[in-house]
Amino acid sequence: MIFHETPIAGLVIIELERHGDERGWFGRTFCVEEFAAAGLNPVVNQANASFTAEAGTVRGIHYQLPPHSEDKYVRCTGGALYDVGVDLRAGSPTFGQHVGVELTVENRLGLYIPKGCAHGFQTLAPDTSATYLMSEPYEPSSERGLRWDDPALGIEWPLPLTTISEKDRAWPDFGPHLALTL
């Protein structure tokens, strides 16, 4: 695996290191030792999958409050998506900033979102699926979110919105009151 730092500390783009021959290629998508060597949390307590039928759908922007904050590693397993991480860590020099990256089956990239960062994505193709490796189990009472179209975040979603859940549409505006102390 090849780890690419982003402007947000701990938010890392992960590229498969492919090894191929006439049959095709092989690449490691997760390795405890490589994650730890890169300074990423290698603990996986839960694995999730999502499927979204319609392009332009937004899921998120979600996070969990401490003590249930989670590290998350997201990969696209079908279709394409635009994946976003937003820094909510109190005292972080990049508080309120975001990184967005296109994850597709073709580019084989993944995004690691550390504790204290919120996460969301927009599907860029119909029938898009993703897998998530989570460091902590989901705790419904700790779930929070940010409004997907909040101008303070300045996220430029690649497509017009087609679908979003009522819950995701109703998350509050971003602001200093959302800073997470981990």
Distance, CA of 178 to CA of 165 (rounded, Å)? 21
pLDDT of residue 165: 97
Please indicate whether residue 177 is annotated as part of the active site: no
pLDDT of residue 92: 96
What domains can you pick out in the chain, each with its CATH number?
2-18+26-171 (2.60.120.10)
Please indicate whether residue 98 is annotated as part of the active site: no
Distance, CA of 83 to CA of 59 (rounded, Å)? 10
pLDDT of residue 46: 97
Task: Identify the helix (H) or strand (E) that includes residue 161.
Answer: none
The mean per-residue pLDDT over the stretch 131-140 comes to: 97
C-alpha Rg value of the chain to the nearest Å: 16
**136: confidence class by pLDDT, cuts 50, 70, 90:** very high
Task: Answer for the pair 182, 70: CB distance below 8 angstroms, yes or no.
Answer: no
DSSP, collapsed to helix, strand or coil, labels residue 176 as helix
- Between strands 72-78 and 58-64, the pairing is unpaired
The mean per-residue pLDDT over the stretch 151-180 comes to: 94
Does the structure show a pLDDT above 90 at 158? yes
Set 19, 62, 112, 138: catalytic member: 62
pTM of the model: 0.94
Does the structure show a pLDDT above 90 at 182? no
Distance, CA of 88 to CA of 177 (rounded, Å)? 10
The mean per-residue pLDDT over the stretch 121-128 comes to: 98
Task: Answer for the pair 71, 95: CB distance below 8 angstroms, yes or no.
Answer: no
**32: confidence class by pLDDT, cuts 50, 70, 90:** very high
Does the structure show a pLDDT above 90 at 64? yes
Q: Which residue has the tokens 């971003």?
A: 174
**84: confidence class by pLDDT, cuts 50, 70, 90:** very high
The mean per-residue pLDDT over the stretch 146-175 comes to: 96
Set 98, 132, 138, 177: catalytic member: 132
pLDDT tens-digit readout, 12-28: 999 999 888 999 888 99
Q: Which tokens hold the place of 49?
A: 């999958």
The mean per-residue pLDDT over the stretch 91-100 comes to: 97
